[in-house]
Amino acid sequence: MKSLPIDEDYLRDVLLELLRTPSPSGRTDAVMQIVGDRLAELGVRMRLTRRGVLRATLPGDGAPGGASRAVVVHADTIGCMVKRLKENGRLEVVPVGTHSARFAEGAHVTVFTDDLSNLHTGTVLPLMSSGHNFGDAVDTQGVGWHQVEVRLDEPVESRQDLLDLGISIGDFVALDAAPQITPNGYVKSRHLDDKAGVAACLAAVKALVDDGRSRPVTAHLLVTIGEEVGVGATHGLDEYVAELVAVDNAVVSEGQESREDTVNIGMLDSTGPFDYHLTRRLIGLCESNDLPFRRDVYRFYRSDAAPAVESGLECRTALIGFGVDSSHGHERTHLDGVRRTAELLTAYLTSPLTFSEWDDRPTGALADFPSHSVQPAEPEPARYPGRH
């Protein structure tokens, strides 16, 4: 259960390649091809579902009941879609995924038409974008998607000009990531959620392949394509999956415990608590491997673990992540946090199931259930002196 060393050059290269490949929910084929190519280079067996979700498999020694585990991460990102071709030659857009127009203002974008060779660049601007024209009104304009428009880098002045360019309602508008890695290891980029998670998972898989030792349990890496719109891990796994660990961003903000340079373990998100036993097993792996970690609770957040359980998968779930400051905005993380997330994954994937004998089967007898010894609860007192 010792963590494995991570190839940091590989981690950095994969992260930048993923960030520079647009993949808003609904238009993810290109980034999934990159993920698949990287796994193929490592000799990892994989399959894709009809919709394009990728499941890679790392064989293990196996258990009598055939139980397996899964690590789930998403390759789709937030983005926009063309809602209306405006008479002034600009584009009205709506968000793909949940994010504020406040952080889209000023973003450089790429507009993808149905003609794959016909791309256009532009900028998201507030309707009042010139201080020299609107003066102080620029500071009082409201925030919202109806308050912004996309200015294309084309000589367009009318709706017809946009049509002549081949732009249509429903075209995807990707927010350019513009990634930067500072000399001291900070990563500034849009879409770190969750491409830094994908990079961590691929780096962990590489470490496991390079190590070459057998694993106690077969593990699946599920890379989903609809998490930002709520339909991430809805399919792609089977009833043999006993444990699922979602890898996603951890919220770094006022009132949160998560940090950019550690691995962070979610205890609860907007859908409720994660599995008591699996979560504490991950904490134990951090402690035994001297991995800096933080425990945290996320109120307005959910991950791929939620749709997996909602779709009927009966398994333990947990959430780990790299810290992201200004998530779904001007995001930043640190390479140390991404690396440590990968290190925890290697320790987890080389360890047995939380309760090897019990978790190997989907059901069992009450007498065999690992309850009192691992999650005790003292009974309430029979009477309360002084209550009345």
DSSP assignments along 253-309, one per residue: STT----TTSEEEEEEETTEEPPHHHHHHHHHHHHHTT--EEEEE-SS---THHHHH
Q: Give first-to-last CA distance, the chain, whole Å.
A: 54
* Backbone region of residue 230 per phi and psi (left: phi > 0; alpha: psi in -120 to 50; beta: other values): left
Show the tokens assigned to 277: 């036993």
Mean pLDDT, rounded, for 109-117:
95
Q: Is the pLDDT of residue 1 over 60?
A: yes
Among residues 154, 157, 227, 380, which one is catalytic? 227
The set of residues, in sequence order, having a beta carbon less than 8 Å from that of 43 and lying 6+ positions away, is 209
Q: Which two tokens stand for residue 158?
A: 């009318």
Helix (H, G, I), strand (E, B) or coil at 180: strand
**Chain centre to alpha carbon of residue 139:** 34
Taking residue 5's Cβ as centre, other Cβ atoms within 10 Å add up to 12
Q: Is it the case that residue 297 has pLDDT exceeding 90? A: yes
- Identify the residue whose tokens are 């600009």: 90
* pLDDT above 60 (res 245): yes
Q: What is the mean pLDDT of residues 187-205?
A: 98
Give ranges for CATH 3.40.630.10 in the chain: 8-77+191-362
- The helix (H) or strand (E) run that includes residue 348 is helix 335-349
Average pLDDT of the residues in 247-252: 97
* Residue 335 pLDDT exceeds 90: yes
SS3 assignment, position 68: strand
The pTM (predicted TM-score) of the whole model is 0.94
pLDDT of residue 63: 62
- On whether the 79-175 domain is CATH 2.40.30.40, my answer is yes
Instruction: Report the distance separating Cα 31 and Cα 225, nearest Å.
Output: 10
Peptide bond before 210: cis, by omega within 30 degrees of 0? no
384 pLDDT higher than 70: no
Q: Are 180 and 16 in contact, with CB atoms under 8 Å apart?
A: no
CA 366/CA 388 separation, integer angstroms: 39
* Span 8-77+191-362 CATH architecture: 3-Layer(aba) Sandwich (3.40)
Which of the four pLDDT bands, split at 50, 70 and 90, describes residue 64? low
Under 8 Å between Cβ of 7 and 206:
yes
- Which pLDDT value is given to residue 371? 78
**In one letter, which amino acid is 280?**
R
Kindly report, residue by residue over 129-183, the tens digit of the pLDDT: 888 888 888 888 899 999 999 999 999 999 999 999 999 999 999 999 999 999 9
* pLDDT mean across residues, the chain: 94
Query: CA-to-CA distance for 72 and 248, rounded, in angstroms?
Result: 9
Q: Is the pLDDT of residue 5 over 90?
A: yes
Statement: residue 73 has pLDDT above 70: yes
| Span(s) in the chain for CATH 2.40.30.40 | 79-175
pLDDT in tens, 257-272: 999 999 999 999 999 9
Per-residue pLDDT at 386: 64
161 annotated as ligand-binding:
no
Name the one residue in this structure whose structure tokens are 């919202």: 144
What is the spatial distance between Cα 67 and Cα 165, in angstroms, rounded to a whole number? 53
Does 74 appear as a known binding residue?
yes
Instruction: Band the pLDDT of 370: cuts 50, 70, 90.
Output: confident
Contacts of 44 (CB under 8 A, 6+ apart): 56, 57, 58, 205, 209, 221
State yes or no: 248 annotated in a binding site: yes
- According to the model, what pLDDT value does residue 17 have? 98
Q: Is 227 a catalytic residue?
A: yes
Q: Per-residue pLDDT tens for 280-295?
A: 999 999 999 999 999 9
110 with 176: CB under 8 angstroms? yes
pLDDT of 385 > 70? The answer is no
Q: Annotation-wise, does 193 bind a ligand?
A: yes
